[in-house]
Chains A and B, each alone.
Chain A
Amino acid sequence: MQFSNSAELAKAIRLKSLEMVYNAKASHIGGALSMADILAVMYFDILNINPSDPLQPTRDRFLLSKGHACTGLYAALGLKGFFPVDDLNTYAQDGSIFLSHTSHYIPGVEISAGSLGHALSVSTGLALAAKRKKKEWKTYCLISDGELNEGSNWEAILFSPQHQLDNLILIIDYNKIQSFGKVENVIQLEPLKDKLVAFNWDVFEVDGHSHEELRNVFANCNNSTIKKPKAVIAHTTKGKGVSFMENKLLWHYKSPDKDQFEQAKSEILSIC
């Protein structure tokens, strides 16, 4: 499918995710919508990838750690042509490879996730391998805010600057909600930027729904000569793009009924 800009891709990702969740009566639409703009910019403007050769050795690696938001990634990959978009109609059905958490059996998916707090350590290993093998490709890892409760992430955050992994870009989908409460009420992350700076990362903060800010920040990450891993704190809204889903914990679980689906669809279509 051809898109003329990342905004069109973002809209299509949102619609497709919504459709998959609706048809399968599945959960986790909120977290798919919060990262839709990040995915659109990554897959439209940033990543060096080839849909017809998903395992090309020189490709950039993009690892989605919050595997529950798989519909967003599947949509992005299908729309980019990694597989026929219609394959997504089988999402979560008997026998389908499209599991309700990311699966590495799907072309373009670098890692199976779903247990939170795994992919950043793996990304760190990839970045280390690129360094040792003197390769130019970058490793991008998108994690959730809730996931920063996991100690494993902080182990990777300690490790990466030690080995000057400036080819590693961590993106945090900071939508302020986790599974059973607001981030600030469960495990407060603030001051998040100061924490990452203190851990010796090169840290950027952006509006995770502004494509321009996202494009600029990734360009800055890639042009930077500072020998530190990069962290992009992307401030987002869980459920972004559908008014009645925005900032609502319920939409971590709930699947839209027919009326809600129609309304959500028309709201997404009206985003310009």
Chain B
Amino acid sequence: MRTAFIHQLIEEAKTNDKIFLLVGDLGFSVVEPFAEQFPERFLNVGIAEQNMVGIAAGLAMEGYCVYVYSIGNFPTLRCIEQIRYDVCYHNLNVKIVAVGGGYAYAALGPSHHATEEVGMLRTIPNIVICTPGDPAEAKAITTFSARYSGPCYIRIGKAGEPTVHTKQTFLEPGDILPVIESTADIAVFSSGAMLKYSFDFISENNVNSSLYSFPFVKPLRKAQLISLFKKYKRVITIEEHQLNGGFGSVILEELNNFSETEEIIKTVKVRRIGIPNKFFSIAGSQEYLRKAASIELKKEFFTQENRN
């Protein structure tokens, strides 16, 4: 996803001379091609994330479309007030890009576990929250963000994730992408980098379930979401993030809104999979940490018939 992002950003920067990339002393062996091609629109501002977002806001006030790039919690939580007040309140054209979403840097420990930032950022007005699920989505999100004027957060994984989508994707804000469409009354809603895992689980276990990828946490396309709730009795949300306030919470909130307005009148059961509001202070691979945090699908989630 990291590679897809930087390649696409270079493509966009070729035709859009407003694109500016700031890095917080990061990006070794990733951002060099951008820096070489557009030296006037690249800067390593140092290990100073609050300053970096402030600088981005200033550049954006002067017409630049500014990408800010760092790891997980550093361009997000570390400078969340600059994001809220300088960028979002002034509705500036700044894109916050975090690599290492979720447990992508698992063995590096909680400082590098980006597992709360979506929940925190999504409460801020004006910001679009993007969580691409594979390199194809990362590419499409990069294009979308470069052409969209306003604050965006882009959570990407690491390098080397396999591509799940077979078709070229273009994304409008809020799009939900069907990946597997089955006849069963159950669907998995996958957020961000859980896509490959969910796809493999359903395919390898011959589970009769649909799968949708959500490259956005905010906004979500209302009509599309309503049609999904009408179609399925059971939904499983899966995310590499705390359950509190994350993607699954968004789905529950939306569902509740739709039943309040009576746009949905049936019962849809939602099972949320995510992190149970705990820190994990153990080393291990991304797969190991996901398992430890119970971010996993189980066959019985699908076989259990509705008890209604």
Q: Do A and B bind each other?
A: yes
Find out whether the CB atom of B110 lies under 8 angstroms from the CB atom of A186: no
**Of B7-15, B157-165, B248-256, B278-286, the one touching chain A:** B278-286
Whole-angstrom distance between the alpha carbons of A256 and B281 in the complex? 26
Whole-angstrom distance between the alpha carbons of A180 and B42 in the complex? 13
Whole-angstrom distance between the alpha carbons of A95 and B292 in the complex? 9
Chain A residues with CB under 8 Å of B74's CB are 115
Find out whether the CB atom of A100 lies under 8 angstroms from the CB atom of B107: yes
> Which one of B26, B27, B78 lies within 8 Å of A115 (CB-CB)?
B78
Whole-angstrom distance between the alpha carbons of A117 and B24 in the complex? 13
Chain B residues with CB under 8 Å of A115's CB are 73-74, 78, 111
CB neighbors of B among A165-188 (8 A): 178-181, 186-187
CB neighbors of B among A111-159 (8 A): 112-117, 146-147, 149-151
Chain A residues with CB under 8 Å of B23's CB are 180
> Which one of A95, A103, A151, A181 lies within 8 Å of B288 (CB-CB)?
A95
Question: A67 within 8 Å of B by Cβ?
Answer: yes
Question: A101 within 8 Å of B by Cβ?
Answer: yes
CB neighbors of A among B267-308 (8 A): 281-285, 288
Find out whether the CB atom of A92 lies under 8 angstroms from the CB atom of B47: no
Whole-angstrom distance between the alpha carbons of A99 and B289 in the complex? 12
> Which one of A67, A105, A186, A253 lies within 8 Å of B111 (CB-CB)?
A67
Whole-angstrom distance between the alpha carbons of A95 and B178 in the complex? 36
Q: A92-B283, A94-B285 are in contact. Are A99 and B107 (CB under 8 A)?
A: yes
Find out whether the CB atom of B51 lies under 8 angstroms from the CB atom of A97: no
Find out whether the CB atom of B284 lies under 8 angstroms from the CB atom of A96: yes
Q: How large is the interface on A (under 10, 10 to 19, 20 to 34, 35 or more residues)?
A: 35 or more
Find out whether the CB atom of B283 lies under 8 angstroms from the CB atom of A98: yes
Output the least CB separation between A209 and chain B (Å). Answer: 24
Whole-angstrom distance between the alpha carbons of A203 and B91 in the complex? 44
Output the least CB separation between A23 and chain B (Å). Answer: 12
Question: A55 within 8 Å of B by Cβ?
Answer: no
Find out whether the CB atom of A146 lies under 8 angstroms from the CB atom of B25: yes
Q: A94-B288, A116-B47 are in contact. Are A101 and B112 (CB under 8 A)?
A: yes
Whole-angstrom distance between the alpha carbons of A148 and B217 in the complex? 35
Find out whether the CB atom of A178 lies under 8 angstroms from the CB atom of B25: yes
Whole-angstrom distance between the alpha carbons of A180 and B283 in the complex? 26
Question: A85 within 8 Å of B by Cβ?
Answer: no
Question: B109 within 8 Å of A by Cβ?
Answer: yes
Count chain B CB atoms within 10 A of each CB in A98, A100, A147 and give the residue with the most: A100
Chain A residues with CB under 8 Å of B73's CB are 115
Find out whether the CB atom of A99 lies under 8 angstroms from the CB atom of B283: yes
Whole-angstrom distance between the alpha carbons of A113 and B111 in the complex? 7
Output the least CB separation between A11 and chain B (Å). Answer: 26
Find out whether the CB atom of A149 lies under 8 angstroms from the CB atom of B48: yes
CB neighbors of B among A77-104 (8 A): 90-101, 103
Q: A92-B107, A115-B78 are in contact. Are A151 and B50 (CB under 8 A)?
A: yes
Chain A residues with CB under 8 Å of B46's CB are 146, 149, 178, 186-187
Q: A179-B26, A180-B28 are in contact. Are A112 and B283 (CB under 8 A)?
A: no
Question: A249 within 8 Å of B by Cβ?
Answer: yes
Chain A residues with CB under 8 Å of B50's CB are 151
Output the least CB separation between B153 and chain A (Å). Answer: 18
Output the least CB separation between A211 and chain B (Å). Answer: 29
Find out whether the CB atom of B109 lies under 8 angstroms from the CB atom of A103: yes
Find out whether the CB atom of B109 lies under 8 angstroms from the CB atom of A112: yes
Whole-angstrom distance between the alpha carbons of A92 and B282 in the complex? 8
Chain A residues with CB under 8 Å of B112's CB are 101, 114
Output the least CB separation between B308 and chain A (Å). Answer: 40
Find out whether the CB atom of B47 lies under 8 angstroms from the CB atom of A150: yes
Whole-angstrom distance between the alpha carbons of A252 and B284 in the complex? 21
23 contacts across the A-B interface (CB closer than 8 A): A67-B111, A93-B283, A94-B288, A95-B282, A96-B283, A97-B283, A98-B283, A100-B109, A101-B109, A103-B281, A114-B109, A115-B111, A146-B47, A149-B25, A149-B46, A151-B50, A151-B51, A179-B25, A179-B47, A181-B44, A187-B48, A253-B28, A253-B29
Known contacts A95-B282, A151-B50; 13 further A-B pairs (Cβ under 8 A) = A94-B284, A96-B284, A97-B281, A99-B108, A112-B110, A112-B281, A115-B78, A146-B46, A149-B46, A151-B51, A178-B25, A178-B47, A249-B28
